[in-house]
Amino acid sequence: MITVGVCGAAGRMGREVVATICSAEDTKLVAAVDRTAVGVDAGDIAGCGTYGVQIRSDLGEALLATKPEVMVDFSVPSAVKANALTALNAGVRLVIGTTGLAEADLRELDGAARANKTAVFVAPNFAIGAVLMMEFAQRAAKYLPDVEIIELHHEQKVDSPSGTAMLTAQRVGAARRAAGLVSTPMPNELKFNAAGARGACEPGTGDVPVHSVRLPGFVAHQEVIFGAPGQILTIRHDSLNRTSFMPGVLLAVRKVINLPVGLTVGLDAIM
């Protein structure tokens, strides 16, 4: 039985994680942390019935009191690094689904995990289909160099572009460069009627333009569109509800127990 704590337990993703951990046969929820709903039973918040674990506001105190083997973080970008360092410094294995961590942040978490002889796993997307989408896009980039990405998420997602889009763009750009291909240059006379009209395009995105949509009704969706003379290839993944991420979260919780010390990135690394 793997004992698990959830940070961000009252959020939309956190509630799904709590319900999943409570219902799985080999995991046990021992801690739930959030800034809201403090003192409320985490199972009641998640809609899976009273579980006997109340939501706490202080992560450090929760880890000290309950000593989970694994902590899952689905909090917010502004808090995730501090949460992660608190868990790693306590020697707790960590699964991070919160996006917004920069490369420098990941290096810092890797160092903290190594210093405390524990493991940290980070995935920008826990949907198995999204991982396959990235893999297929990476393969296509070896043959079709002209590509742009459109990612669409709900209106409350605070980071843009999404972590999934950033990782996809980086991998597509790397595959394109490895194949010795370059994209078709934009026309010199191209006029932008609004700044960034062609989408974010910089070394951090692998020089692949990324467009972000934030609207009510969406959950998490991404299209990778390749263009070539006489043909278009579109690779699309849609998460229609948050249950789509839960098999990947459970896989990460089970695998992080035996991951090597330090940082591991991407669900494909443990599939």
Q: Which of 81, 153, 221, 255 is catalytic?
A: 153
Q: Mean pLDDT in each 10-residue stretch from start to end of the chain (271 residues)?
A: 97 96 97 96 95 96 97 94 96 93 93 97 93 96 97 91 91 95 86 80 83 95 98 97 94 97 94 89
pLDDT tens string 6-50: 999 999 999 999 999 999 999 999 999 999 999 999 999 999 999
Domain ranges for the chain, please list them: 2-122+243-269, 128-240
**Options 3.10.180.10, 3.40.50.1820, 3.20.20.80, 3.40.50.720; CATH of 2-122+243-269:** 3.40.50.720
Q: How far apart are CA 6 and CA 74, in angstroms?
A: 8
CATH topology identical between 2-122+243-269 and 128-240: no
Among 81, 142, 157, 221, the active-site one is: 157
Spell out the residues 6+ positions from residue 214 whose beta carbon is closer than 8 angstroms to its own: 152, 153, 154, 155, 157, 160
The CATH number of the domain covering residues in 128-240: 3.30.360.10
* Residue 81 is among the residues annotated as catalytic for this protein: no
For position 159, what pLDDT does the model report?
Answer: 85
List, for residues 168-192, the tens digit of each pLDDT value: 999 999 999 999 999 998 888 878 8
SS3 (DSSP) at 28: strand
Separation of alpha carbons 86 and 103, rounded Å: 19
Catalytic-residue membership of 157 = yes
Cα Rg, the chain, nearest whole Å = 20
